[in-house]
């Protein structure tokens, strides 16, 4: 498979976006022997802390985007073989209005140039839960976007604005929506049909069949700074993330 760059997106917090990225990346490395790079491009740094790193002690993509460091300087090994990470920090939040980026009218295309020659099979970018410069830069750099949602009213309504944002970038830069991943899924939820209908209307044919059920084991894994495959491999969310990763590989 040629190298693929995938942005993980959501218009609001609480959609398990970061957990989804962490577990897809881990599953690709552990079960599909892919060389994976995770990029935490969200100033909240949940992916960074979720893998046991302190964001206050690491460099992020910020100095790389500013031309002050090379990307190799900020890549760290994780606890998973063949899976690396570029951490996040608070400097990311307004990186586009400072330093070299402030005067660059094409600054949102710099990320794509930086990632072009990296030697990984898959690069996964964790974007902020907003339609900002960071999200736009990540989407421009990506071959695909994976949209995260939960079966809850505000999450699903936010998909419509995210769809317009992604489609606007896709017209100019060619990125494609890979799919919509649902988390916190309850197979017996009373409003499931209504939520699924809105998703189908907003992203026709993109809803992924593998859905991640609510599982406290995911939260417990975060405490240890490891994916659920390492802490509770037989948990239902572990099985769901494996199925989701397999389906994503098929679509790619």
| pLDDT band of 156, cuts 50, 70, 90 | confident
Q: Is the pLDDT of residue 155 over 80?
A: no
More confident residue, 223 or 180: 180
CA distance 8 to 148: 7
Tens of pLDDT, residues 169-202? 999 999 999 999 999 999 888 888 988 998 999 9
Place of tokens 């893998």: 51
CATH number at residue 155: 3.40.50.300
Whether 124 contacts 37, CB under 8 Å: yes
What stretch of H or E contains 243? helix 236-251
Rg, Å, the chain Cα set: 17
Backbone angles phi, psi at 180, to 5 degrees: -115, 120
Structural domain boundaries, residue 178 = 4-251
Whether 163 contacts 206, CB under 8 Å: no
- Count of CA atoms in the C-beta half-sphere (13 A) of 38: 34
Position 121 scores a pLDDT of 97
Nearest residue to 149 via CA among 135, 129, 125? 129
Whole-model pTM: value is: 0.95
Nearest residue to 48 via CA among 71, 75, 8? 75
The number of distinct structural domains making up the chain is 1
pLDDT above 70 as % of the chain: 99
């Amino acid at each position: 498979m040629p190298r693929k760059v995938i942005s993980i997106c959501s218009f609001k917090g609480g959609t398990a976006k970061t957990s989804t990225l962490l577990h897809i990346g881990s599953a690709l490395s552990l079960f599909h022997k892919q060389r994976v790079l995770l990029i935490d491009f969200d100033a909240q740094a949940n992916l960074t802390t979720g893998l046991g790193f302190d964001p206050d002690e690491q460099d992020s993509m910020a100095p790389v985007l500013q031309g002050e460091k090379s990307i190799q300087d900020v890549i760290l090994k994780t606890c998973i073989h063949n899976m690396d990470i570029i951490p996040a920090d608070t400097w990311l939040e307004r990186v586009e209005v400072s330093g070299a980026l402030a005067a660059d009218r094409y600054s949102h295309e710099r990320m794509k140039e930086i990632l072009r020659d990296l030697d990984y099979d898959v690069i996964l970018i964790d974007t902020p839960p907003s339609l900002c410069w960071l999200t736009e830069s990540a989407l421009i750099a990506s071959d695909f976007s994976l949209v995260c949602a939960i079966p809850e009213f505000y999450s699903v309504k936010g998909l419509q604005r995210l769809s317009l944002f992604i489609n606007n970038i896709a017209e100019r830069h060619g990125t494609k929506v890979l799919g919509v991943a649902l988390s916190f899924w309850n197979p017996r939820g009373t409003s499931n049909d209504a939520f699924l209908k809105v998703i189908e209307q907003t992203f026709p044919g993109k809803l992924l069949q593998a859905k991640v059920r609510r599982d406290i084991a995911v939260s417990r894994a975060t405490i240890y700074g490891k994916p659920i495959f390492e802490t509770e491999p037989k948990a239902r969310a572990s099985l769901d993330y494996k199925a989701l990763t397999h389906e994503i590989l098929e679509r790619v």
